[in-house]
Amino acid sequence: MSSHDDHDAFEGASLSARAMAARPMPYLDELNPAQREAVEALDGPVLMLAGAGTGKTKALTARIVHLLSTARAAPNEILAVTFTNKAAKEMKARVGRMLGEHVEGMPWLGTFHAICVKLLRRHAELVGLKSSFTILDTDDQIRLMKQLIRANNIDEKRWPARQLAGIIDNWKNRAWTPQNVPSAESAAFNNRGTELYDQYQRRLLELNAVDFGDLLLHVVTIFQKHEDVLAQYQRWFRYILVDEYQDTNVAQYLWLRLLAGGHRNICCVGDDDQSIYGWRGAEVGNILRFEKDFPGAKVVRLEQNYRSTEHILAAAGGVIRGNEGRLGKELWTEAGEGWKVRLIGHWDGEEEARWIGEKIEDHQSGRSEEAKNRYNPRLNSFQQELDRRAKSGLGPVDEHQYVRDAFESGSVYSDMKTFNLVKQLLDRDKYSARYGNMLGALGDYVVHRFSLDEIAILVRASHQMRAFEDRFLTIGLPYRVIGGPRFYERLEIRDAMAYFRLVVSPADDLAFERIVNTPKRGLGDKAQQKIQVCARDNGVPLVEGARILLAEGGIGGKGAGELRALIDNLDRWGRMTGHADLSHVELAEQVLDESGYTAMWQNDKTPEAPGRLENLKELVKALENFDNLQGFLEHVSLIMDNASEDQGAKVSIMTLHAAKGLEFPAVFLPGWEDGLFPSQRSMDESGPKGLEEERRLAYVGITRAEEVCTISFAGNRRVFGQWQSQIPSRFIDELPGEHVEVLTPPGLYGGGFGAAAPGYDGIQSTVDKRASEANVYNSPGWKRMQARAGQRPMSQPRETRSQVIDLEAVSRYTIGDRVFHQKFGYGAITGIEGDKLDIDFEKAGTKKVVAKFVMAGDDVPF
DNA sequence: TACTTAGAGATGCAG
DNA sequence: TCTCTAAGTA
């Protein structure tokens, strides 16, 4: 196909550049000076160093709009690359909003991979592929490698396919083809890495398939080997914009350099302090080297932060300062100093989860129960004092009334304004000496009201999530886990996709392998081996091999009939594609039903089954957005979004990695313990570099917070079922003391973690001392104390109250009822206590669960 | 062939 | 602790 015609025919080219030129430029007025500078420097290389929360996306989109408005480029002449679909989508939406109309064009705004697919489909033949190539995901890759490993008689146990996949992925990230893997790597995978890599690539070509790494690698190869093709694209993409430049790997870097080679109109946006993907090939070096790579580059720093308060920024800044070789940025804000970053240690992980759950409930009510209990006695005496004064006619009664009301209604706890006013009134009084101090301490316990949506828990490793899920389930706190397995990676979705792939292209061997015996068709290893052999001997795809085998009678019993049915079905479905009277959506449904796949899950009694059926329905629904099965398959592996957003306010739980780019008014950062965070593995594998990346991760974590940031650690933690005593993270030592407030854990009597004797005045003075005096907790001594405190016997953690007693939910049940729980599956009620049920689950054992989280067994759909 | 059980291994996660 | 895989067994 002539690519030049394509270019002229691009959607959106109709949006004429001249029409845009007449447009006013209101978007420029919304930018601060630095942003504006970055937006207006249109020509030549530009590096936009955008710290966390400095309006990077805003500047980037404004730049696109500016390019269009000044008629520098038509929409189809701008290449804008992001890393995630989410970012691409967001940018598209924002450009549209800024232009005030629906923008059809911007065909080249997308992820690296999505854009590469487009390019590769145009030039597939240059690397020996057909333009209809399929994109394999990680699962397919690993299965393919497993076959290779077996074929090479390598011990799979000592040399697992996963490891090989990792190695090859790594090489691809560095843009090494099998031919130019450096000899220094030749020891990889028992000295056979390079050889297997070569075999793997050959096999992919045979299958007309590529993996994710290939998408980039092939395009880079094409650009390097075919100057004419490269020159064409250099002319077409007049302006290049790159988001999250600090996350680019070598292959992406080369790709960009090649494309920008002519005009050098490239604008890279990034933050070296937020580079957290080194382990998957990102090179911070790319951004550090930018000015060398593009001499004369303009560097613009965005340093005004619009997200967090001063204390939070200062704490984050203090940590990141420990890294070397930074480009250097100093974030500032007009938001005011706000609250200090809170720091607290706990006995163990469960206690930590319990405490955080409690704090979240405090954020709901806007007051801290803990503070109320602790200060109530004093408040009472204060009120008595006020009463006495009022009676004896001393002092301005109205003001005292206000103060008293503030306490009685609780607004002094929940509203900072009231609190400050009360404090002012008291300060003016002679009581300030006696009560003001108390109020100062109380101020630390005034809790902001946040909706659950505004609260996030960011963990280092996903296994930390369980403690929180368990805890929140028992206290009935709604939560959502962000970033689990992606929709299209789920078992049932991949199975269904394999069926669709076979319908569209019967020669798809990987798909065939996946579903021959799913659902069970009595075709075990033996039968499958026979099919493989037959196919190979005849040099045909597996489906054909199976057909021949059946004709020869090489397969018998139950399997033969089932296999014949499957093949006949595939033939029939294949003929049905493109039929006018049957939409591809109906066809898909039919395929899933007739193959017995739906039935398989309907008959499955495990608790996941209903969810899987739900997902299948959703998959079919997603098909409606495409014209045919083929189009759907082409896009799904790259673009399919996660399952539908469930509504309702919920606390978000996610990894620090998943949190990048997000922001929350209140953020909890649990598990700051050496070995967990910074992660031992990261340090073992990458040494000081690994530690620096972990530190950047800490920086990312803290800078997610807008108002309240709470860091915690536990003295003990269960790791793989073993109890381990933990030492607080070295990053805690790096937090600047004047921006941190150390809290005393609940249930810690007699002071733990270096706290002075607790008590009414204790908190205030302890906090003050900690904050202002020489870094008490910054010393090695503090660190040792932490470690010791972990071993000190502590009071039994107290049971916390559940949020709301939902009696209606409980009343529906009696002991012995069979119930269903989303997470634990089926079980029988063995006891009822308040709004909680004791349930003996068939699969999960005995648990205590809040009644509203279960449903009667009969209500369960199937 | 399908189901059961024993044993090993275990980050982070976009495309 | 949990999950996945590979033998072992009906």
Strand C: which bases are under 7 Å from protein Cβ?
1-2, 6-7
Q: pLDDT at position A518, please?
A: 85
A472 CA to B4 C1' in angstroms comes to 35
Measure CA to C1' and name the residue nearest C1: A721
Q: pLDDT at position A578, please?
A: 79
Same fold, A307-373+459-478+648-748+768-782 and A479-644: no
- Residue A57 annotated as binding site: yes
Q: If you average pLDDT over residues A479-492, what whole number do you get?
A: 81
- The band of A574, judged by pLDDT with boundaries at 50, 70 and 90, is very high
Give the nearest nucleotide to A463, CA to C1'. B11
Q: What percent of chain A has pLDDT over 70?
A: 78
Cβ proximity of A582 and A567 under 8 Å = no
A597 CA to B5 C1' in angstroms comes to 27
Cα→Cα distances A344→A341, A653, A785, Å: 10, 19, 14
CATH of A136-207, one of 3.20.20.220, 1.10.10.160, 3.40.50.300, 1.10.1660.10: 1.10.10.160
Cα→Cα distances A90→A65, A84, A250, Å: 14, 10, 26
Check pLDDT > 90 for residue A116. Answer: yes
Comparison of pLDDT for A431 and A663, the residue scoring more: A663
**Given A77, A244, A351, A454, the catalytic residue:** A244
Measure CA to C1' and name the residue nearest C2: A720
Task: Identify any residues that bridge with A850 across adjacent strands, giving them in sequence order.
Answer: A836
Q: Strand B contacts (CB < 7 A) among A residues 714-733?
A: 720-721
Check pLDDT > 50 for residue A756. Answer: no
**Given A329, A521, A704, A836, the catalytic residue:** A704
Comparison of pLDDT for A7 and A562, the residue scoring more: A562
Cβ proximity of A249 and A281 under 8 Å = yes
Of A162, A180, A160, residue with least CA distance to A171: A180
**Given A56, A501, A547, A660, the catalytic residue:** A56
Comparison of pLDDT for A570 and A826, the residue scoring more: A570
Q: pLDDT at position A433, please?
A: 54
Q: pLDDT at position A783, please?
A: 44
Q: Would you call A274 a catalytic residue per the annotation?
A: yes
This prediction's pTM: 0.80
pLDDT tens across A792-830, in order? 333 333 332 222 334 556 667 777 777 776 666 677 788
Cα→Cα distances A469→A464, A536, A557, A717, A747, Å: 9, 49, 48, 16, 22
Of A444, A399, A443, A404, residue with least CA distance to A420: A443
Cβ count within 10 A of residue A104: 15
Check pLDDT > 90 for residue A398. Answer: no
Q: What percent of chain A has pLDDT over 90?
A: 42
Assign A44 to helix, strand or coil.
coil
Cβ proximity of A503 and A573 under 8 Å = yes
Domain chopping of chain A, boundaries:
20-133+212-302, 136-207, 307-373+459-478+648-748+768-782, 382-430, 479-644, 817-856
Instruction: Fill in the DSSP letter of residue A510.
Output: H
Q: If you average pLDDT over residues A582-600, what whole number do you get?
A: 92
Task: Identify any residues that bridge with A651 across adjacent strands, giving them in sequence order.
Answer: A479
Q: Would you call A57 a catalytic residue per the annotation?
A: yes
Token pair in block for residue A195? 């050889």
- The band of A342, judged by pLDDT with boundaries at 50, 70 and 90, is very high
Check pLDDT > 70 for residue A571. Answer: yes
Rounded distance, CA A337 to CA A359, Å? 22
Residues close to nucleic acid strand C (C-beta < 7 A):
A 156-157, 718, 720-721
Q: pLDDT at position A213, please?
A: 93
Q: If you average pLDDT over residues A722-750, what whole number do you get?
A: 81
Q: How many residues does chain A have?
A: 862
**Given A246, A274, A598, A766, the catalytic residue:** A274
Q: If you average pLDDT over residues A249-271, what whole number do you get?
A: 95
State the helix-helix crossing angle for A491-504 and A584-594, rounded to 10 degrees.
Answer: 110
Q: pLDDT at position A729, please?
A: 93
CB-facing half-sphere around the CA of A582: CA atoms within 13 A: 15
pLDDT tens across A636-681, in order? 777 665 555 567 889 999 999 999 999 999 999 999 999 999 999 8
Q: If you average pLDDT over residues A185-196, what whole number do you get?
A: 86
Of A646, A306, A703, A307, residue with least CA distance to A453: A646
Check pLDDT > 60 for residue A360. Answer: yes
- Residue A526 annotated as binding site: no
Positive or negative: CA dihedral A561, A563, A564, A565? positive
- Residue A655 annotated as binding site: no
Token pair in block for residue A411? 């607004």
Residue range A20-133+212-302 forms a domain whose CATH class is alpha beta
- Residue A814 annotated as binding site: no
Instruction: Fill in the DSSP letter of residue A77.
Output: G
Q: Strand B contacts (CB < 7 A) among A residues 618-677?
A: 638, 654-655, 657-658
pLDDT tens across A596-621, in order? 999 988 888 777 788 888 888 888 88
Average pLDDT across chain A, whole number: 81
Q: Would you call A490 a catalytic residue per the annotation?
A: no
Check pLDDT > 80 for residue A408. Answer: no
Place of tokens 């800024």: A98
Check pLDDT > 70 for residue A108. Answer: yes
pLDDT tens across A18-61, in order? 444 455 688 899 999 999 999 999 999 999 999 999 999 999 99
Measure CA to C1' and name the residue nearest B10: A720
A523 CA to B1 C1' in angstroms comes to 8
Q: If you average pLDDT over residues A464-492, what whole number do you get?
A: 86
Of A283, A275, A233, A278, residue with least CA distance to A253: A283
Q: If you average pLDDT over residues A583-594, what whole number do you get?
A: 93
Range of A296-310, A391-405, A460-474, A646-660 with top mean pLDDT = A296-310
A788 CA to C8 C1' in angstroms comes to 48
Q: Would you call A650 a catalytic residue per the annotation?
A: no
- The band of A509, judged by pLDDT with boundaries at 50, 70 and 90, is confident
Q: pLDDT at position A750, please?
A: 31
Q: pLDDT at position A225, please?
A: 96
Q: pLDDT at position A372, please?
A: 60
Q: pLDDT at position A623, please?
A: 86
- Residue A56 annotated as binding site: yes
Q: pLDDT at position A633, please?
A: 82
Comparison of pLDDT for A780 and A846, the residue scoring more: A846
Q: pLDDT at position A61, please?
A: 93
pLDDT tens across A292-319, in order? 999 999 999 999 999 999 999 999 999 9
Q: Would you call A704 a catalytic residue per the annotation?
A: yes
- The band of A514, judged by pLDDT with boundaries at 50, 70 and 90, is confident
Q: pLDDT at position A238, please?
A: 96
Cβ proximity of A767 and A444 under 8 Å = yes
A521 CA to C9 C1' in angstroms comes to 21
- The band of A442, judged by pLDDT with boundaries at 50, 70 and 90, is low
Give the nearest nucleotide to A722, CA to C1'. C1
Give the nearest nucleotide to A116, CA to C1'. B15
Q: If you average pLDDT over residues A55-69, what whole number do you get?
A: 93
Cβ proximity of A701 and A667 under 8 Å = yes
Q: Strand B contacts (CB < 7 A) among A residues 496-525?
A: 517, 520-525
Strand B: which bases are under 7 Å from protein Cβ?
1-3, 9-15
Rounded distance, CA A493 to CA A611, Å? 12
From the centroid of its chain, how far is CA A485? Answer: 10
Q: Encode A632-656: b = buried (16+ Cβ within 10 Å), e = exposed.
A: bbbbbbbbbeebeeeeeebbbbbbb
pLDDT tens across A199-215, in order? 999 999 998 999 999 99
- Looking at the structure, give the CATH architecture of the domain made up of residues A479-644: Orthogonal Bundle (1.10)
Q: pLDDT at position A807, please?
A: 52
Check pLDDT > 70 for residue A857. Answer: no
CATH number, domain A307-373+459-478+648-748+768-782: 3.40.50.300
Rounded distance, CA A474 to CA A800, Å? 10
Q: pLDDT at position A806, please?
A: 46
Q: pLDDT at position A749, please?
A: 36
A729 CA to C3 C1' in angstroms comes to 29
Q: pLDDT at position A666, please?
A: 94
Q: Would you call A337 a catalytic residue per the annotation?
A: no
From the centroid of its chain, how far is CA A329? Answer: 25
Rounded distance, CA A545 to CA A593, Å? 25
